[in-house]
Amino acid sequence: MPARKKLVLAVIDAMKPAMLERVVAEGRAPALGLMMERGHHVGECVAAFPSVTPVCAASIATGAGPDRHQIPSMNWYHREEERYVEYGTSFKASQAFGFKRSLTDTIYRMNAEHLAPSTPTVFETLDDADVRTAGTTYLMYRGRHRHQVTNETALTRIAATVFREPVCGPREFFYADLFASRRTGCRSQFGLPGVRDQHAGCVGEHLVEHDLFDFLLLSLPDNDTVSHKRGPEAQVESLAAADRQFGRLFDAAGGADAFLEDHAVIVCSDHSQSLVEDAIDLFTAFDAFAVLPPSGARETRAGERAEIALCPGSRSAQVYVLDREARQTLVPRIERTLLGLEGVDLVMRMTGHPDGEAVVRSMKGELRFAPRGELTDRRGATWSVDGDRAVLGLLERDGRLDSARYPDALGRVWAALRCRTSGEVLASAKPGWEFLDWGRSFHAGGGSHGGLDAADSLGSLLWCGTGPASPDVREQWTLRDVAPMVLAHFIKGSDPL
């Protein structure tokens, strides 16, 4: 065991940097304010694309983009199993695919099968290094320790008749009320929104009090739910509530000073949110195509052979080509259909270039690029770029290729398109717009995310008691930097960046 401080990685879902700064300035988040004062804060940490929770959670847990971790979106088409995967975009979307299947994909298959086995999580790497790992309810939990479904209450015993299989997670593992590595007296009402943060705080308090971890991933997801319903401005209330959970950990250690003497902390958003006013209806737009239904039946109601699968994912969407022989004709039709939709901002795909090339189209024009060439972005990656740079708002500044509207645009689009589970054509919505999901739901008057633009993509990252001595070591921070920071805290010789 390394002689280091214990480390808490707290993920506050959808935390918007401006809202964090506001709630701290108003004195309603004293714990977060103290950690910002004693540590470092980056207000422009770039999410993965699509900027939806499963994709971003996988990047936080692995330090990789979707091209390596293979989680493409909230809703996607599984080519090998010839079916849709739905991680719970909305209640009605899960209902369209069947609750049991949606929950099974989310609880079990996301970690056991969908997350690339060749890309280790921080839990797996730290477990292998004999670091005591722990985690509260988080989409990405894969570790080395086997956990059976709990039977502590009558409700969990009923749930165990449906969800019977064990999972592999961190050493101390608490997932809703389904899995609990020990009795804590904490209840989450099966992950009910509004109760999840309190459950995480209760578990964290118990773990601190009894010295049961070296690394804890503390998931605080309720901010996302509040922001979806009431819009990003409502985050002041939910961030203040999240801050109170840190207070519970502080109190369990004997106060803030005592806690920070023994514990380092990293806090990050997984993405941000932007206000939604209108919906993009893919289903009506693609009614001239033979679309695969939620059942997965390859024969549509009209008796046609399904040729495409539609996968809306909040403010992003993917279209999969099922008829491979018709790909050359279908892809241009798909692009034209998407670009003709009010509310669609960008349409992306790979070209047939033998060495690999991406193309992004908008009403402004077309841009082609590949990771080879003489242009360098703020992450240090090199690119060749051909076409209208205004499509992605690209400018050369101080020898660096950058976009204020679409941060880390080339790297994020490339990783999304090179993900082998992604669709042939990807789309990002304009500000204010969201794609209707399979339940025909959208967050009218509330917040959402998923797009490539900065409003969805720029979150907060702060660290205290660990990490670099200055944020200036990076020109541009992304979620891919979080896992290396965690590993460097514990493993000698691990590069934090």
Enumerate the domain spans of the chain: 6-71+115-273+454-490, 276-442
pLDDT at 372: 87
pLDDT (average), residues 54-74 = 98
DSSP string of 227-262, one letter each residue: HHHH-GGGHHHHHHHHHHHHHHHHHHHTSHHHHHHH
- Tell me: pLDDT of 495 over 90: no
pLDDT (average), residues 307-314 = 97
> Which tokens sit at 314?
């909040």
Is the separation of the CB atoms in 406 and 392 below 8 Å?
A: yes
pLDDT at 497: 47
Give Cα 358 distance to the centre of its chain: 23
Give the model's confidence band at 492: pLDDT under 50 very low, under 70 low, under 90 confident, else very high. Answer: confident
For 416-471, how does the pLDDT look when each residue is reduced to its tens digit (9 = 90+)?
999 999 999 999 999 999 999 999 999 999 999 999 999 999 999 999 999 999 99
Give the model's confidence band at 301: pLDDT under 50 very low, under 70 low, under 90 confident, else very high. Answer: low
- Tell me: pLDDT of 307 over 90: yes
Cis geometry, peptide bond prior to residue 50 (ω within 30 degrees of 0): yes
pLDDT at 454: 97
For 92-105, how does the pLDDT look when each residue is reduced to its tens digit (9 = 90+)?
999 999 999 999 99
- Tell me: pLDDT of 367 over 90: yes
pLDDT at 247: 96
Mean pLDDT of the chain: 94
Say which CATH architecture domain 6-71+115-273+454-490 belongs to: 3-Layer(aba) Sandwich (3.40)
- Tell me: pLDDT of 496 over 80: no
Give the model's confidence band at 161: pLDDT under 50 very low, under 70 low, under 90 confident, else very high. Answer: low
Amino acid, single-letter form, for residue 336: R
Q: Is the pTM of this model over 0.75?
A: yes
pLDDT at 354: 79
Give the relative orientation of helices 30-38 and 235-253 as an angle to the nearest 10 degrees. 70
Give the model's confidence band at 153: pLDDT under 50 very low, under 70 low, under 90 confident, else very high. Answer: low
pLDDT at 296: 86
Residue for token digits 């993920």? 11
> Which tokens sit at 439?
């339940």
For β-strands 172-175 and 274-280, DSSP reports them as: unpaired
> Which tokens sit at 128?
């292998």
pLDDT at 359: 98
Q: Which residues are CB-neighbours of 315 under 8 A, at least 6 positions away? A: 50, 51, 274, 276, 428, 429, 433, 434, 435, 448, 449, 450, 451, 456
Give the model's confidence band at 194: pLDDT under 50 very low, under 70 low, under 90 confident, else very high. Answer: confident
Q: How far apart are CA 314 and CA 51, in angstroms?
A: 9
- Tell me: pLDDT of 191 over 70: no
For 239-267, how does the pLDDT look when each residue is reduced to its tens digit (9 = 90+)?
999 999 999 999 999 999 999 999 999 99
pLDDT at 1: 40
Q: Considering only 103-112, 162-171, 416-425, which range has the smallest mean pLDDT?
A: 162-171
